[in-house]
Amino acid sequence: MNVLIYGNTETSPALRHEVPLGIGDPFLYLESDGRRGVLTNALEDARIARAAPGLERVLVESLGRDELITAGYPTAAIDRELCVRAAALFGIREAVVPPEFPLALADRLRETGIVLTADETLFSERRRQKSASEMAGIRRAADAAVQALREAAKVLREAAISGDELRLGGEVLTSEVVRSRLREVCSRAGAPAPSDVMVKPMGAAPQIGHDPGSGPLPAHVPILIDLWPMDEESGCYADMTRTFVRGEVSDQIADLHALVLSAHEQSCAAVKPGVTGVELYGIACDVFEAAGHATGRTKSPGETLRQGFYHGLGHGVGLEVHEAPSLGRSGHDPLLAGDVIAVEPGTVVATVGGARVEDLLLVTEDGSENLTGTFSHALTP
């Protein structure tokens, strides 16, 4: 099978999986009958040689870049022509490409008779089997997430309760303050977290979904913290969530959280090779449905859930924070040893609030390893 990938390794996970190095400028990766190489230049040559010594490096000058410049070709046209010549050097007459392969380059390659076929599944399946460097990066990102949540829990513990408010150092404690502390910890650990990590109250009529939260954090109310730091060295992510209450925990919230933990524990216990994502999702649905909560299985076709277990159970994590395999209603692919998955059940009752917990699991030969399970699931920070 022949493969072509074009892009930069900062935005193309398919390319970063093949070339484990942060490269901001676009370039071509080629694969033909076991021969693997890249079209590159003097700026990246030595770096690629160190990071991926098994890759053949074809320098642009060897394919006539200087002559194309002298002939007056525009920069973009030169790049496309060099890609055509590199494909010819590798004997590629047909190739599989990722769906995001550039249209202009695809058109130019097809003009020369090369047959291109987009195949999303091929590239997502490749990335499910993590390299040693990717797995090390995921572990570093997971450690950063745990450290950051410890800091968040510390901030909440140290916050004084003043009526229904939380105050720290005499000032109202806000989502922004906790988020900043989280991000500082992740950055120091070499795994920065984005600006929209979630720190938000989940009391009555909560903001559901990916709303990051803003403003004052209340006492006696669930506070959800969801963060997904990315290891700078490998470009790989972790993903982790906890729900905290600073102050008095109502019986309703305690019961809600206990229900989520039950779904979480039962789903995690079932993780092993051969189990499908939809089967794991069904285990969580069984728990929530038995307690009278709506799920994706019980809703009407076309209905948008905003209460109950309204989202999927989780997803794969790696060079993207959301990738294959799916742990939801469309998750029909069996888990494989080497998959890294986020398991994140949660539920919402509009008049009470919501809770969610999430851990990152590595699927092993006979079960799983919880990469973030060293951090407590308790509501008390």
pLDDT tens by residue, 9-36: 999 999 999 999 999 999 999 999 999 9
User: Does domain 132-370 correspond to CATH entry 3.20.20.10?
Assistant: no
What average pLDDT score do residues 220-237 get?
98
Q: Is the pLDDT of residue 5 over 90?
A: yes
Question: Average per-residue pLDDT in the chain?
Answer: 97
153: confidence class by pLDDT, cuts 50, 70, 90: very high
pLDDT tens digits for range 268-277:
999 999 999 9
pLDDT tens digits for range 192-208:
999 999 999 999 988 88
pTM value is: 0.95
pLDDT computed for residue 252 by the predictor: 97
Q: Which residues contact 129 (CB under 8 A, 6 or more apart)?
A: 336, 338
Q: What percent of the chain has pLDDT over 70?
A: 100
What average pLDDT score do residues 225-236 get?
98
Q: Is the pLDDT of residue 258 over 90?
A: yes
Closest CA to 99 of 185, 13, 10, 1: 13
pLDDT computed for residue 345 by the predictor: 98
User: Does domain 2-128 correspond to CATH entry 3.40.350.10?
Assistant: yes
pLDDT computed for residue 207 by the predictor: 85
pLDDT tens digits for range 50-96:
999 999 999 999 999 999 999 999 999 999 999 999 999 999 999 99
pLDDT computed for residue 35 by the predictor: 96
pLDDT tens digits for range 272-299:
999 999 999 999 999 999 999 999 999 9
209: confidence class by pLDDT, cuts 50, 70, 90: confident
114: confidence class by pLDDT, cuts 50, 70, 90: very high
Domain boundaries, the chain: 2-128, 132-370
pLDDT tens digits for range 303-323:
999 999 999 999 999 999 999
pLDDT computed for residue 58 by the predictor: 98
